[in-house]
Chain A
Amino acid sequence: MSRRIVLAHGGGGRLTRELVRELFLPPLANPQLAELADAAVLPWPGGKLAFTTDAFVVDPPVFPGGDLGYLAVCGTVNDLAMVGARPLALSWALILEEGLEEELLATFVAGAQRACWEAQVAIVAGDTKVVPRGKGDRCFITTAGVGVVEGRELADREVRPGDAVLVSGPVGEHGATVLAARHGLAGDLRSDVAPLWPQVAALLGSGVALRALHDPTRGGVATVCYEVAERTGLRVELWEEAIPVRPAVRAVMDVLGLDPLYVACEGRFLAFVAEEDAARALEVLQGLAEGGEAKRIGTVQQRAPGQAPLVLRTAFGTMRPLDLLSGAELPRIC
């Protein structure tokens, strides 16, 4: 009996990784893809290009703070920003379901236009397909983005023991907002979705020793940190009391039985910086309108054999190992 794809394959946790590693990587094998970074960095005369692709299926497609179109552009330019690339151009392809109201589609386009303006990038190519009613769900958007790597390339292999882990703002807001909308929970919630290049550019321009950046989308902060720890053979220790979570987000998480550390953000990033530059990096971010709540949330350490890659120091001083998400059902967050 053939194995089937289940919703958990899209969750961003173990099953997603296995799908990519077992089904996609072997036949498509190439060095850039194998890095599994947010964007591929390609050699180019005079510098380096970054190239990325994304798909967006968020449900509901309009939510407090954004919509499918705005999210699609932000998500793509943010992947480029995470490897230190200024966005150059985007393309998008829309798969529309027969019966979609044009007004809703216009909302997505307006959202995309707004994000392009904020990110100072353009959608330069596009495609549209329509599938019969019932064969899609209103609108799915796939994108591709290309950017120019300015300065040093950011990569996990640069991360070292002693580095500080910073977050650019409170976590879990996008996921909490989308889930609340889906489950009929009203509240003071707004997705954090936003283009990140301005903050990243400020960090790059400040000269702090920035090692790597990651935006904690599917799988959240914990998944990103786990993967960095795993790829580098190091250990990440997060500090529970330092992680900023808005009260409304925490309330939604409590009601739905979820952990904010595993829930998607679409307008935040984690920065791994040299310990001695941590304070200055925070100053730079906090000086920006969007970075006001940036905080240090942990540290990178050597990992002894048998130690967990990722641990949380709880408020009581006990150390709790954090694993990858497994099988948790958080479909169509982004």
Chain B
Amino acid sequence: MKLVAKEELRGVVELSGVKREVSLMLLPEAEVGEYVLVHAGYAIARVDQEEAEETLRLLRDVLAAEEA
């Protein structure tokens, strides 16, 4: 979910237009605009979008090569 607002240790995350409040006590360094993993009302880890995209890209390339 995307962190769209932050005030001290409380934040608002959003997914497909649905917003909820979360605590940032476990991820105080999270910045607005970043994607975070939420568990039981707390943000617990950053989700690295670039790494995700890279993973998918590599995977597609490798699979295409394997099929060939």
Residues of A within 8 A of B (CB): 180, 183-189, 247-248, 250-252, 254-255
Contact = CB atoms under 8 A, between A and B. Distances in A.
A185 B17 contact: no
13 contacts: A180-B18, A184-B20, A185-B19, A185-B20, A187-B16, A188-B17, A188-B18, A247-B17, A250-B16, A251-B18, A252-B18, A255-B15, A255-B20
B15 A251 contact: yes
A186 B15 CA distance: 11
B19 A186 contact: yes
B28 to A, nearest CB: 22
A187 B31 CA distance: 22
B31 to A, nearest CB: 22
A187 B17 contact: yes
Interface of B: 15-21, 38
Contacts of A184: 20-21
A317 to B, nearest CB: 17
A113 to B, nearest CB: 31
A254 B21 contact: no
A185 to B, nearest CB: 5
Nearest to B12: A186
A251 B21 CA distance: 14
A254 B38 CA distance: 11
B20 A189 contact: no
B21 A247 contact: no
Contacts of B38: 255
A176 to B, nearest CB: 9
A251 B2 CA distance: 12
A247 B18 CA distance: 9
Contacts of B18: 180, 185-189, 248, 251-252, 255
Contacts of A250: 16
A152 B42 CA distance: 55
B37 to A, nearest CB: 12
Nearest to A176: B18
A251 to B, nearest CB: 4
Which of B16, B17, B18 is most buried by chain A, counting CB atoms within 10 A of its CB? Answer: B18
B15 A254 contact: yes
Which of A183, A187, A189 is most buried by chain B, counting CB atoms within 10 A of its CB? Answer: A187
Nearest to B20: A185
Contacts of A254: 15
A183 B18 CA distance: 12
A187 B18 CA distance: 4
A255 B21 CA distance: 12
A248 B14 CA distance: 10
A45 to B, nearest CB: 53
Contacts of A248: 16-18
Contacts of B16: 187-188, 247-248, 250-251
A247 B20 CA distance: 15
A255 B18 CA distance: 9
A187 B12 CA distance: 12
B64 to A, nearest CB: 18
A254 B19 CA distance: 12
Contacts of A189: 18
Contacts of A247: 16-17
A180 B18 CA distance: 9
A69 B15 CA distance: 31
Given A186-B20, A255-B20, 16 more contacts: A184-B20, A184-B21, A185-B19, A186-B19, A187-B16, A187-B17, A188-B16, A188-B17, A189-B18, A247-B17, A248-B18, A251-B15, A251-B18, A252-B18, A255-B18, A255-B38
